[in-house]
Structure formats: C-alpha cells, structure tokens
Chain A
Amino acid sequence: MTLLPMAAPVIPDFGKTSGCVKNNGTFCWDWFKDHWAGADGLSSHFVEHIELTLIAVAIGFAISFFLALLAYRARWLTAPVTFVSSLLYTVPSLAAFYILAPITGINDYTVEIALVSYTLLILFTNTLAGLTGVSEEIRDAARGIGLTRSQSLWRVELPLAVPTIVAGLRVATVTIISLVTVAGLIVPDGLGYVIYALGLQKNSFNTALIAGGVLCIILALAADALLAGLQRVITPWAAARRIR
C-alpha cells in the first residue's frame, strides 16, 4: 500500500529489538515504554496532536463566533455563511490537504487551514442556534428593564447560549482530533504520523498502530469529558433541579 506522499519512507527504529517486536506481537509494552519519551517519541507526537487540535478549534471558534454574532444581528447572513461552511465541510479532508499543499506548502499551516475549515459549520451553527434559542420573553424582559442591545447580548443571551455553544465545541474538538490523524499523511506531526509512518510501513507494526489509535481515542474522550466538565462549572444553572 503506497499511501505515503513522503519521498523517504521512514523505517521504524526497532532499537534493542525484543522478541515481541520481532514477531510483531499485538502490543509490545517494552517498545511503547522505550519510545514514549524523547524528541521524536510518542509523547511528543501526542503533544503535537493536542497542539494541532487546540489551534484549529481555537481559530475555528474565533471565526465562527464572530460570524455567528454578525449573523445574529443581520439574519440574512445566515444562509451564505452556512452555505460556504457546508461547502468546506463536504470537501474530503485528504483532498483538502492535497488541494492546499501546492498553494501553502507542505507544513502545519496547510494542515491548520484545512482543519479550521472543518470546524466552521458546527461551531457557527451551534453558536447561532444557542443565541436564537433564547426565548422571546427573556429578550423582551431584558430590553424592557433597560438593558442595551450589547448588555442583553453579553449578560443574557450569550450566557444562555453557552450549553449549545459548548455542545458544538465538543463535537468539533472530537472531529478535529480524528482529522489530525489524517494530517499525519502530510506532515510528520501528531499521532497520525505514529500510525502511518511507524505502524503502516511495508510490514505493518501492530504496536505503533495500536499505540497511535488508542492514544487518539483517549485524547478524544478526555477532551470531551473536559469540555463537558467545564460546561457544568460555568453553567451551574443548567443543572439546577427543575420543579414542574
């Protein structure tokens, strides 16, 4: 299988090979422990994965948030923004990397541009839905007691949109964590690199494959739990016991 675009295939460095590694056992703890630390170790790829995800979600959220606020004021913007972000969302991720590569080069910028474009639809839609979901009575009350439009937005409407916005962030983050592995085909960063370059070489190497995959799953679950926990902390009212 010639999936890799990179010229020089990376040969896994087996180091002091154990029997497990030689026989390509299902998962070799010794190899995992030997390759965890270090500049090109699993831990550094794990951290790169987090970095790539964080940057993509943060930039994507900033853009989406701004666009959602605009569209909230000028509703006609909703349709064009949704159209463009849907279009970006439908481009297959691998194709997006290849389309961008000749323009922006084979680097992290290319990867981030593609990743950010995937977050826009979810984050824009959810932020706007959170804002428009605030009930008419509440908006009327805010205006009626004398809040200005921006006071109403920042003190009432946005806080009430937080659960929906965080729901969007959770979906976007988990999606990006899985897409960053695809980016490993382009750049030697993240857990994708561990999976492709170390795990899917000529003779697939199970330990690297599983290590990359499992770390990716752990990261996704942890990020999701972290965001869910964050939401509970900043919106205590949403969990308050309801009467009636």
Chain B
Amino acid sequence: MPNQTLPSQSPQASEASHHTAAPLEFRAVTKRYEGAKGAAIEDLSITVPAGEVCVLVGPSGCGKTTAMRLVNRMIDLTSGDILIDGKSILGRAPTQLRREIGYVIQHVGLFPHLNIIDNVTMVPRLLGWDRKRSRRRGEELLDLVGLPQEMGSRYPSQLSGGQRQRVGVARALAADPPLMLMDEPFGAIDPINRERLQNEFLRLQGELRKTIVFVTHDIDEAIRMGDRIAILREGGELVQYDTPDNILAAPADDFVARFVGADRGLKRLALTNVGDIELEAPQRDSTPERSLPLTASLRDALSLMMSDARGPVAVTDADGKVRGSVSIELITKTLRTTKEKTAADKSAAS
C-alpha cells in the first residue's frame, strides 16, 4: 500500500479529533505552600489508565482538590511531574493546557451573562472554531447531557441546580478533551437528584470513556463512580490506590478501614449485580412479587432476604422469566472467592 502523506491538519481539525482518552500519571508529585508547615501533597505517584475514572477521596485537608488542580496547572507543583498521554504538563502553556482538559467544579461556575449555548461553546470559541460549528457542537452537547434544545437560549439563573450541573458537564466536554477534572461535581445537589446525576454520569462515561479525575469526600460516591480510588490522608499522603472492591475487601490500614466504614462488607455487596454471578437453581415457591431483576445488587438481594426473613430470593430477567435464585450462602461464597482473588493478585504483584 502506498504510504500517503497526510496533508497537515488545520489546528481546528486536530483539536476536535482526539476522541480518545489519555492516560494520566502523577510522578513523585509534591506540593508545598510557602510558609506552610507540612506538604499539601507528599510524593504522590499514581497512574490512571486511559478511559478510567480515578476518584481522589479523603477527609477535608487531605489535598485531594490540590492534587486535581495540579493537573491543569491551576496550582503549580513543587517537585515531581505530571504526564498526560506521556507528555509532561510542565512545558505546556497553562491556558492552552486547560483548554484541552475538561473542568467541572462543585458550584459549576456557569457565566451568568451568557446563555446556555454560549456557556457550553466557550472553549470551542477560544480554540477558534467558527460560530456555526460551535453552535452545532453546543446543540449536540445539550442532547448528550439530556437537556432540551430550547434551554440553549436560557440564562443559567433560569435553570435548576441539576440542570446547571449538566450544563457544567457539557461545557467541560465541549472540545472533546481526552481528560476531565471534576471537583465534587454533585456536592451541591440534593440526594435524589445527585443519584440521578451520578447514574447519568456513569451512562455518559460508558459511552465516552474519558480519563477522569474525580474528587469527592463521600466514600459512597467514590465507590459508585470510581474504577480506581486513591485514598489520601491529611498532609497529602496516599494511603491506598486500588479498585473499590479491593479497597473494601482489604483496606490497607486502620485509617482506610475507618474511612470506608464498618459496613464495608455491605458496600462491597452493592458493587456486584446478581446478574454477574452464577445463580443457584430457582426455588420451587418463588413468586414474581419476591424477585429481583438482573441489575439488582447483591446488597439489594440481602436486604430483601433480611427484611422478610424468608430465605433465598428469585432473580428474573427483563421478560419476567426466573433465571435462578440467590441465597445468603451464595453471597458469602461470592465474597470469599473475590477476596481470595484479591489476595492472590496482591501476592502475585509483590
């Protein structure tokens, strides 16, 4: 095949054509504020594979937000390096770098004087896209985050908190960045809407597969949202960096065990769906009223068994056909095997 030389791409075209996620690496990152006693971040080294959600979690003052803000140079690091797609951020002009990284903060920070479309297309416009192309992208983004098109001409003050948060996410996604930073994006939302937004976020992430650094102080949110969780302690020290299941099954120390809570066993159950495990033969007396869909978690199954104390519970598929049943013994067995697997992974790694 003849090797054709591609015509040099216009900057506009290349900026929009990432479509891939970029891996992110913190390499021995330390941040010390002048005049402060200890470090805000101490020798942090983690790698986030492309397309994964890394949740930074810990008590207030642990430096999780600082760590996130180091990535787009909102704060400059003291030593070490951060690499996006293998390239150091240190040689990059901060504003240019930021335009290529999605940024979502707790209070959203929409621009009150611009309508929703103009808010969402701010970054594409900064990158020099023409009006028509920006507008098309804006409309696409409203669809993506589930907002009706007529909202495009409204001002942020005319939207509800949940809608504003969606707009904030749309704005961050505007130039299709390979990496997104999210600082407690659902922190100011009431619990019911927060859960809805979390679900939407997971659906969106399932489609887009961005690399995401997600900051929260809420361990339950971390467990729900994260592919990996980095638990930080005061002074910016990384205590554990692992998948939610591994952290719940084997906390690195007392601090982590306390932080994830005494109910960590139950939290682990919430991570596994009944459809993902090998079910037992259905019980003879299983009734549709006492059944769970395949998407229910082991926690839901246990909860149902505990609430009516009537033993194993049936699992039905979308057509209502019974596929099997779950008993307490099966749940225990499932937990044991994953825990053994975790231990095996650990010894293999060390």
A and B: bona fide binding partners: yes
A residues with CB within 8 A of B: 135, 137-138, 140-148, 151, 156, 159-160, 162, 235-238, 240-244
Contact check: which of A140, A143, A160 meets B113 at CB < 8 Å?
Answer: A160
Known: A148-B95, A240-B157. A143 touches B110 (CB 8 A): no
Known: A145-B171, A156-B111, A237-B113. A151 touches B157 (CB 8 A): no
Known: A137-B107, A144-B98. 4 other contacts (CB 8 A): A138-B112, A143-B74, A147-B122, A244-B160
Closest residue of chain B to A242 (Cβ to Cβ) is B157
CB-CB under 8 A from A244, the residues of chain B are: 160-161
A242 adjacent to B158 (CB under 8 Å) = yes
Contact check: which of B74, B106, B161 meets A144 at CB < 8 Å?
Answer: B74
28 A–B contacts, CB within 8 A, in A order: A135-B109, A137-B105, A137-B107, A138-B109, A138-B110, A141-B103, A141-B111, A142-B109, A143-B74, A143-B98, A144-B98, A144-B181, A145-B99, A145-B103, A146-B95, A146-B97, A146-B98, A146-B126, A147-B95, A235-B113, A237-B112, A237-B157, A240-B154, A240-B155, A240-B157, A241-B158, A242-B158, A243-B159
CB-CB under 8 A from B246, the residues of chain A are: none
Cβ of A84 to closest chain B Cβ, rounded Å: 32
Cβ of B136 to closest chain A Cβ, rounded Å: 19
A24 CA / B28 CA spacing, docked (Å)? 92
B residues with CB within 8 A of A: 72, 74, 95-100, 103, 105-115, 122-123, 126, 154-155, 157-161, 171-172, 181
B158 adjacent to A243 (CB under 8 Å) = yes
A148 CA / B95 CA spacing, docked (Å)? 6
Known: A240-B157, A243-B158, A243-B159. A145 touches B123 (CB 8 A): yes
Known: A156-B111, A235-B113, A237-B112. A146 touches B123 (CB 8 A): yes
Contact check: which of A140, A148, A160 meets B112 at CB < 8 Å?
Answer: A160
A145 CA / B155 CA spacing, docked (Å)? 19
Contact check: which of B99, B107, B109 meets A146 at CB < 8 Å?
Answer: B99
A2 CA / B74 CA spacing, docked (Å)? 67
Cβ of A194 to closest chain B Cβ, rounded Å: 43
B126 adjacent to A151 (CB under 8 Å) = yes
Most buried by A among B72, B100, B181: B72
3 closest Cβ contacts across the A-B interface? A141-B109, A146-B99, A146-B98
Cβ of B140 to closest chain A Cβ, rounded Å: 18
Known: A240-B154, A240-B155, A240-B157. A144 touches B105 (CB 8 A): yes
CB-CB under 8 A from B97, the residues of chain A are: 146
Closest residue of chain B to A141 (Cβ to Cβ) is B109
Most buried by B among A140, A141, A142: A141
CB-CB under 8 A from A145, the residues of chain B are: 98-99, 103, 122-123, 126, 171-172
Known: A137-B109, A144-B72, A235-B113. A243 touches B95 (CB 8 A): no
A140 CA / B172 CA spacing, docked (Å)? 14
Cβ of A111 to closest chain B Cβ, rounded Å: 37
A244 CA / B163 CA spacing, docked (Å)? 13
A144 CA / B96 CA spacing, docked (Å)? 11
A240 adjacent to B158 (CB under 8 Å) = yes
A76 CA / B112 CA spacing, docked (Å)? 29
Cβ of A188 to closest chain B Cβ, rounded Å: 45
CB-CB under 8 A from A240, the residues of chain B are: 154-155, 157-158
CB-CB under 8 A from A235, the residues of chain B are: 113
Cβ of B319 to closest chain A Cβ, rounded Å: 42
B105 adjacent to A140 (CB under 8 Å) = yes
A244 CA / B162 CA spacing, docked (Å)? 12
A244 CA / B98 CA spacing, docked (Å)? 32
Cβ of A3 to closest chain B Cβ, rounded Å: 49
